[in-house]
Amino acid sequence: MFHIATPFWLALARQVKRGGVIINEHTLTAEETRRHVEVLGRWFDFIHLDGLPRRLAQPGRRPFCLLTFDDGKRSNATETAPELERLGVPAVFYVTTSFVTNGTPLWFDRQKAFVRALGSCPAVLDLDTVKQLPFAALNERLDRACAQFGVGPEMDSDDVRPMSWEDVRSLSRRGFRIGAHGVTHAILTRETWDDARAEIELSLAKVSAELRAPCATFAFPNGNYTPELAQHAVHCGASTVMTTEPTWTDDQSALWRLPRIQLFGESTRARIELKIAVVALGAVLTNPDGTGRAYRSRPAPLGTFRGAATTFQNGRLTPFRMEENGCPRRDSAGRA
Protein backbone atom coordinates (compact mmCIF):
# COMPACT_ATOMS: atom_id res chain seq x y z
CA MET A 1 0.00 0.00 0.00
CA PHE A 2 2.80 2.42 0.87
CA HIS A 3 4.36 1.72 -2.55
CA ILE A 4 1.19 3.02 -4.17
CA ALA A 5 1.24 6.20 -2.07
CA THR A 6 4.95 6.87 -2.63
CA PRO A 7 4.50 9.41 -5.48
CA PHE A 8 1.96 11.29 -3.35
CA TRP A 9 4.35 11.57 -0.41
CA LEU A 10 7.22 12.65 -2.65
CA ALA A 11 5.06 15.25 -4.37
CA LEU A 12 4.00 16.54 -0.95
CA ALA A 13 7.62 16.66 0.25
CA ARG A 14 8.59 18.57 -2.88
CA GLN A 15 6.02 21.21 -1.97
CA VAL A 16 6.41 21.55 1.78
CA LYS A 17 9.84 20.33 2.92
CA ARG A 18 12.86 22.58 3.08
CA GLY A 19 16.33 21.29 2.28
CA GLY A 20 16.83 18.04 0.41
CA VAL A 21 18.85 14.84 0.33
CA ILE A 22 22.51 13.87 0.05
CA ILE A 23 22.81 10.54 -1.74
CA ASN A 24 25.62 8.09 -1.03
CA GLU A 25 26.50 5.78 -3.93
CA HIS A 26 29.50 3.55 -4.63
CA THR A 27 29.62 1.98 -8.11
CA LEU A 28 27.10 2.47 -10.92
CA THR A 29 27.14 1.45 -14.55
CA ALA A 30 26.27 4.11 -17.10
CA GLU A 31 22.76 2.65 -17.37
CA GLU A 32 22.31 2.62 -13.59
CA THR A 33 23.59 6.18 -13.43
CA ARG A 34 20.98 7.28 -15.96
CA ARG A 35 18.22 5.53 -14.03
CA HIS A 36 19.19 7.06 -10.69
CA VAL A 37 19.51 10.53 -12.20
CA GLU A 38 16.15 10.20 -13.95
CA VAL A 39 14.37 9.10 -10.78
CA LEU A 40 15.99 11.66 -8.47
CA GLY A 41 15.72 14.46 -11.02
CA ARG A 42 11.97 14.02 -11.09
CA TRP A 43 11.76 15.26 -7.50
CA PHE A 44 14.95 17.21 -6.81
CA ASP A 45 17.27 19.88 -8.18
CA PHE A 46 20.84 18.57 -8.47
CA ILE A 47 23.35 20.88 -6.80
CA HIS A 48 27.11 21.25 -6.45
CA LEU A 49 28.73 20.71 -3.06
CA ASP A 50 29.75 24.38 -3.07
CA GLY A 51 26.08 25.34 -3.29
CA LEU A 52 25.00 23.27 -0.28
CA PRO A 53 25.39 25.95 2.44
CA ARG A 54 23.35 28.44 0.43
CA ARG A 55 20.58 25.92 -0.31
CA LEU A 56 20.37 25.04 3.39
CA ALA A 57 20.09 28.69 4.36
CA GLN A 58 17.90 29.73 1.41
CA PRO A 59 15.83 26.79 0.11
CA GLY A 60 14.81 26.73 -3.53
CA ARG A 61 11.39 26.02 -4.97
CA ARG A 62 12.17 22.30 -5.02
CA PRO A 63 14.27 20.20 -2.62
CA PHE A 64 17.89 19.64 -3.64
CA CYS A 65 19.87 16.47 -4.29
CA LEU A 66 23.64 16.24 -3.85
CA LEU A 67 25.20 13.08 -5.32
CA THR A 68 28.27 11.57 -3.65
CA PHE A 69 30.29 8.45 -4.49
CA ASP A 70 32.61 6.70 -2.03
CA ASP A 71 35.85 4.71 -2.30
CA GLY A 72 37.41 5.72 -5.65
CA LYS A 73 36.65 2.67 -7.80
CA ARG A 74 37.72 2.91 -11.43
CA SER A 75 34.15 2.53 -12.67
CA ASN A 76 33.50 5.95 -11.16
CA ALA A 77 35.80 7.33 -13.87
CA THR A 78 34.90 4.97 -16.73
CA GLU A 79 31.13 4.56 -16.26
CA THR A 80 29.60 6.99 -13.79
CA ALA A 81 31.38 10.30 -14.33
CA PRO A 82 31.07 10.34 -18.15
CA GLU A 83 27.32 9.76 -17.86
CA LEU A 84 26.92 12.41 -15.17
CA GLU A 85 28.94 14.80 -17.34
CA ARG A 86 26.70 14.07 -20.34
CA LEU A 87 23.60 14.71 -18.23
CA GLY A 88 25.04 17.87 -16.65
CA VAL A 89 24.79 16.51 -13.10
CA PRO A 90 27.44 17.45 -10.50
CA ALA A 91 28.82 15.03 -7.93
CA VAL A 92 31.47 14.51 -5.26
CA PHE A 93 33.88 11.57 -5.42
CA TYR A 94 35.43 10.54 -2.09
CA VAL A 95 38.64 8.54 -2.56
CA THR A 96 40.46 6.16 -0.22
CA THR A 97 44.01 7.36 -0.71
CA SER A 98 46.20 4.26 -0.22
CA PHE A 99 43.76 2.32 -2.40
CA VAL A 100 44.27 4.81 -5.25
CA THR A 101 48.02 5.04 -4.63
CA ASN A 102 48.90 1.36 -4.21
CA GLY A 103 45.98 -0.53 -5.77
CA THR A 104 45.65 -2.73 -2.68
CA PRO A 105 42.10 -4.15 -2.69
CA LEU A 106 39.72 -2.75 -0.10
CA TRP A 107 39.01 -5.06 2.82
CA PHE A 108 35.30 -5.47 2.07
CA ASP A 109 36.04 -6.53 -1.51
CA ARG A 110 38.31 -9.22 -0.12
CA GLN A 111 35.55 -10.32 2.24
CA LYS A 112 33.03 -10.45 -0.61
CA ALA A 113 35.43 -12.49 -2.77
CA PHE A 114 35.94 -14.99 0.04
CA VAL A 115 32.21 -15.43 0.66
CA ARG A 116 31.53 -15.73 -3.08
CA ALA A 117 34.23 -18.40 -3.50
CA LEU A 118 33.05 -20.50 -0.56
CA GLY A 119 29.34 -19.99 -1.15
CA SER A 120 28.82 -19.22 2.52
CA CYS A 121 30.21 -16.98 5.22
CA PRO A 122 31.78 -18.33 8.42
CA ALA A 123 30.72 -16.43 11.52
CA VAL A 124 34.20 -15.01 12.07
CA LEU A 125 34.06 -13.28 8.68
CA ASP A 126 30.46 -12.11 8.84
CA LEU A 127 30.34 -8.48 7.72
CA ASP A 128 28.77 -7.19 10.92
CA THR A 129 31.34 -9.14 12.93
CA VAL A 130 34.46 -7.91 11.13
CA LYS A 131 33.19 -4.32 11.24
CA GLN A 132 33.63 -4.46 15.00
CA LEU A 133 37.38 -5.20 14.68
CA PRO A 134 40.32 -2.79 14.54
CA PHE A 135 41.71 -2.59 11.02
CA ALA A 136 44.87 -4.62 11.78
CA ALA A 137 42.88 -7.46 13.34
CA LEU A 138 40.34 -7.39 10.51
CA ASN A 139 43.08 -7.65 7.90
CA GLU A 140 44.88 -10.42 9.77
CA ARG A 141 41.68 -12.47 9.87
CA LEU A 142 41.08 -11.90 6.15
CA ASP A 143 44.72 -12.68 5.29
CA ARG A 144 44.53 -16.07 7.02
CA ALA A 145 41.21 -17.01 5.44
CA CYS A 146 42.13 -15.90 1.92
CA ALA A 147 45.53 -17.59 2.08
CA GLN A 148 44.03 -20.84 3.32
CA PHE A 149 41.60 -21.07 0.40
CA GLY A 150 43.63 -19.20 -2.23
CA VAL A 151 40.95 -16.54 -2.63
CA GLY A 152 41.33 -12.96 -3.83
CA PRO A 153 39.16 -10.25 -5.39
CA GLU A 154 38.95 -9.80 -9.17
CA MET A 155 41.26 -6.83 -9.56
CA ASP A 156 40.59 -6.65 -13.31
CA SER A 157 37.05 -5.48 -12.55
CA ASP A 158 36.51 -1.72 -12.62
CA ASP A 159 34.11 -2.18 -9.72
CA VAL A 160 36.98 -3.52 -7.60
CA ARG A 161 40.20 -1.83 -8.75
CA PRO A 162 40.85 1.85 -8.07
CA MET A 163 41.03 4.92 -10.20
CA SER A 164 44.51 6.33 -10.79
CA TRP A 165 45.46 9.73 -9.44
CA GLU A 166 45.38 10.99 -13.01
CA ASP A 167 41.76 9.79 -13.20
CA VAL A 168 41.08 11.73 -10.00
CA ARG A 169 42.73 14.87 -11.34
CA SER A 170 40.76 14.54 -14.57
CA LEU A 171 37.49 14.42 -12.63
CA SER A 172 38.53 17.53 -10.75
CA ARG A 173 39.43 19.41 -13.92
CA ARG A 174 36.01 18.54 -15.35
CA GLY A 175 34.22 20.18 -12.43
CA PHE A 176 33.57 17.26 -10.09
CA ARG A 177 34.53 17.73 -6.44
CA ILE A 178 37.04 15.35 -4.87
CA GLY A 179 36.97 14.46 -1.19
CA ALA A 180 38.98 12.31 1.21
CA HIS A 181 37.65 8.99 2.51
CA GLY A 182 40.46 7.85 4.80
CA VAL A 183 43.77 6.22 3.96
CA THR A 184 42.82 2.54 4.25
CA HIS A 185 39.02 2.60 4.67
CA ALA A 186 39.47 1.58 8.28
CA ILE A 187 36.35 2.13 10.38
CA LEU A 188 37.69 4.99 12.44
CA THR A 189 35.68 4.40 15.61
CA ARG A 190 37.42 1.00 15.90
CA GLU A 191 40.90 2.55 15.77
CA THR A 192 43.00 4.23 18.43
CA TRP A 193 42.60 7.98 18.70
CA ASP A 194 46.00 8.59 17.14
CA ASP A 195 45.43 6.18 14.25
CA ALA A 196 41.98 7.56 13.52
CA ARG A 197 43.27 11.13 13.51
CA ALA A 198 46.10 10.12 11.17
CA GLU A 199 43.65 8.49 8.74
CA ILE A 200 41.73 11.76 8.51
CA GLU A 201 44.71 14.08 8.37
CA LEU A 202 46.81 12.06 5.93
CA SER A 203 43.95 11.39 3.52
CA LEU A 204 42.99 15.07 3.34
CA ALA A 205 46.65 16.00 2.86
CA LYS A 206 47.19 13.38 0.14
CA VAL A 207 44.18 14.50 -1.90
CA SER A 208 45.29 18.12 -1.52
CA ALA A 209 48.80 17.26 -2.69
CA GLU A 210 47.61 15.28 -5.71
CA LEU A 211 45.16 17.99 -6.79
CA ARG A 212 47.52 20.83 -5.84
CA ALA A 213 44.54 22.47 -4.20
CA PRO A 214 43.05 22.20 -0.70
CA CYS A 215 40.74 19.25 -0.12
CA ALA A 216 37.84 20.64 1.90
CA THR A 217 35.50 17.69 2.36
CA PHE A 218 35.79 14.36 4.19
CA ALA A 219 33.51 11.30 4.35
CA PHE A 220 33.76 8.83 7.22
CA PRO A 221 34.31 5.23 6.03
CA ASN A 222 31.18 3.19 6.77
CA GLY A 223 29.70 6.33 8.31
CA ASN A 224 31.11 5.69 11.79
CA TYR A 225 32.13 8.94 13.45
CA THR A 226 32.31 10.80 16.74
CA PRO A 227 32.04 14.57 17.29
CA GLU A 228 35.71 14.57 18.28
CA LEU A 229 36.79 12.89 15.03
CA ALA A 230 34.57 15.24 13.04
CA GLN A 231 36.23 18.12 14.88
CA HIS A 232 39.62 16.83 13.78
CA ALA A 233 38.50 16.69 10.15
CA VAL A 234 37.39 20.31 10.43
CA HIS A 235 40.71 21.23 12.05
CA CYS A 236 42.48 19.59 9.09
CA GLY A 237 40.61 21.77 6.61
CA ALA A 238 37.31 20.02 5.90
CA SER A 239 34.42 22.45 5.67
CA THR A 240 31.94 19.60 5.10
CA VAL A 241 32.00 16.19 6.80
CA MET A 242 29.81 13.33 5.58
CA THR A 243 28.31 10.48 7.60
CA THR A 244 25.75 7.87 6.56
CA GLU A 245 22.89 8.99 8.76
CA PRO A 246 19.86 8.17 6.59
CA THR A 247 17.90 11.36 7.16
CA TRP A 248 16.69 14.46 5.33
CA THR A 249 19.13 17.39 5.15
CA ASP A 250 17.82 20.83 6.12
CA ASP A 251 18.78 24.00 7.99
CA GLN A 252 18.95 21.98 11.21
CA SER A 253 21.75 19.84 9.75
CA ALA A 254 25.33 20.75 10.61
CA LEU A 255 28.08 20.88 8.00
CA TRP A 256 30.33 18.90 10.36
CA ARG A 257 27.83 16.01 10.48
CA LEU A 258 25.95 15.76 7.21
CA PRO A 259 23.56 12.83 6.67
CA ARG A 260 23.55 10.71 3.51
CA ILE A 261 21.07 8.19 2.16
CA GLN A 262 22.61 5.10 0.58
CA LEU A 263 21.44 3.84 -2.78
CA PHE A 264 22.83 0.95 -4.80
CA GLY A 265 23.14 0.11 -8.47
CA GLU A 266 20.45 -2.56 -8.43
CA SER A 267 17.90 -0.18 -6.85
CA THR A 268 14.79 0.09 -9.00
CA ARG A 269 12.84 3.29 -9.48
CA ALA A 270 10.20 2.05 -7.03
CA ARG A 271 12.86 1.20 -4.45
CA ILE A 272 14.60 4.57 -4.77
CA GLU A 273 11.36 6.51 -4.50
CA LEU A 274 10.18 4.43 -1.56
CA LYS A 275 13.40 4.97 0.37
CA ILE A 276 13.36 8.72 -0.25
CA ALA A 277 9.67 8.92 0.73
CA VAL A 278 10.35 7.10 3.99
CA VAL A 279 13.15 9.54 4.75
CA ALA A 280 10.93 12.52 3.84
CA LEU A 281 8.34 11.29 6.33
CA GLY A 282 10.98 11.28 9.08
CA ALA A 283 11.22 7.53 9.58
CA VAL A 284 14.52 6.10 10.81
CA LEU A 285 16.22 3.76 8.35
CA THR A 286 18.98 1.25 8.98
CA ASN A 287 22.41 2.85 9.20
CA PRO A 288 25.41 0.96 7.76
CA ASP A 289 27.72 2.00 10.59
CA GLY A 290 26.72 -1.11 12.50
CA THR A 291 25.95 0.56 15.81
CA GLY A 292 22.21 0.07 15.62
CA ARG A 293 21.58 3.63 16.77
CA ALA A 294 18.47 5.49 15.66
CA TYR A 295 19.36 8.99 14.52
CA ARG A 296 16.31 10.80 15.81
CA SER A 297 18.18 13.62 17.54
CA ARG A 298 19.38 16.45 15.32
CA PRO A 299 22.54 18.55 15.75
CA ALA A 300 22.10 22.24 16.39
CA PRO A 301 22.42 24.45 13.30
CA LEU A 302 25.76 26.13 12.74
CA GLY A 303 24.39 29.56 13.52
CA THR A 304 23.67 28.50 17.13
CA PHE A 305 27.17 27.23 17.89
CA ARG A 306 28.71 29.31 20.65
CA GLY A 307 32.04 30.69 19.51
CA ALA A 308 31.47 29.65 15.90
CA ALA A 309 33.08 32.25 13.68
CA THR A 310 31.11 31.23 10.60
CA THR A 311 27.63 30.30 9.44
CA PHE A 312 25.88 28.67 6.52
CA GLN A 313 26.38 31.85 4.50
CA ASN A 314 30.07 31.19 3.94
CA GLY A 315 30.05 27.45 4.46
CA ARG A 316 33.21 27.34 6.57
CA LEU A 317 33.75 25.78 9.97
CA THR A 318 36.17 26.27 12.82
CA PRO A 319 37.48 23.72 15.39
CA PHE A 320 35.04 23.19 18.22
CA ARG A 321 34.57 21.62 21.62
CA MET A 322 31.39 20.08 22.93
CA GLU A 323 29.49 22.07 25.54
CA GLU A 324 27.11 20.47 28.02
CA ASN A 325 24.27 21.44 25.68
CA GLY A 326 25.92 19.49 22.84
CA CYS A 327 26.99 22.56 20.88
CA PRO A 328 30.59 22.85 19.69
CA ARG A 329 32.69 25.83 20.75
CA ARG A 330 36.35 26.90 20.70
CA ASP A 331 38.46 27.98 23.62
CA SER A 332 40.19 31.36 23.66
CA ALA A 333 43.17 29.97 21.75
CA GLY A 334 40.98 28.25 19.15
CA ARG A 335 41.92 24.81 20.47
CA ALA A 336 39.57 21.87 20.81
| Helix, coil or strand: residue 173 | helix
Residue 13 inside a domain? The answer is yes
Q: Are residues 87 and 199 in the same domain?
A: yes
Q: Are residues 176 and 116 in the same domain?
A: no
- CA 171 – CA 218 distance, rounded (Å): 17
Q: Are residues 137 and 175 in the same domain?
A: no
CATH number at residue 95: 3.20.20.370
> What pLDDT shows up at residue 323?
35
| Boundary of a domain, candidates 154, 174, 191 | 154
| Boundary of a domain, candidates 137, 154, 171 | 154
336 residues of the chain, pLDDT tens digit each: 455 677 766 777 666 678 999 999 999 999 999 999 999 999 999 999 999 999 999 887 889 999 999 999 999 999 999 999 999 999 999 999 999 999 999 999 999 999 999 898 999 999 989 999 999 999 999 999 999 989 888 899 999 999 999 999 999 999 999 999 999 999 999 999 999 999 999 999 999 999 999 999 999 999 999 999 999 999 999 999 999 999 999 988 999 999 999 999 998 898 998 889 888 887 667 777 665 444 444 444 443 332 233 333 333 333 333 333 333 333 333 333
Domain count, the chain: 2
Residue 251 inside a domain? The answer is yes
Contact call for residues 125 and 144 (beta carbons, < 8 A): no
The overall pTM is greater than 0.75: yes
Contact call for residues 210 and 232 (beta carbons, < 8 A): no
Q: Are residues 121 and 248 in the same domain?
A: no
DSSP symbol at 124: G
Residue 84 inside a domain? The answer is yes
Terminal alpha carbon distance of the chain:
50
* Beta strands 240-242; 328-329: pairing state: unpaired
Residue 330 inside a domain? The answer is no
Residue 53 inside a domain? The answer is yes
Q: Are residues 35 and 147 in the same domain?
A: no
Q: Are residues 214 and 272 in the same domain?
A: yes
Residue 320 inside a domain? The answer is no
Q: Are residues 205 and 281 in the same domain?
A: yes
Q: Are residues 8 and 132 in the same domain?
A: no
Q: Are residues 75 and 177 in the same domain?
A: yes
Q: Are residues 173 and 237 in the same domain?
A: yes
Q: Are residues 171 and 260 in the same domain?
A: yes
Chain centre distance of CA 49: 13
- CA 158 – CA 28 distance, rounded (Å): 10
Q: Are residues 58 and 116 in the same domain?
A: no
- Parent domain of 128: 106-154
> What pLDDT shows up at residue 15?
63
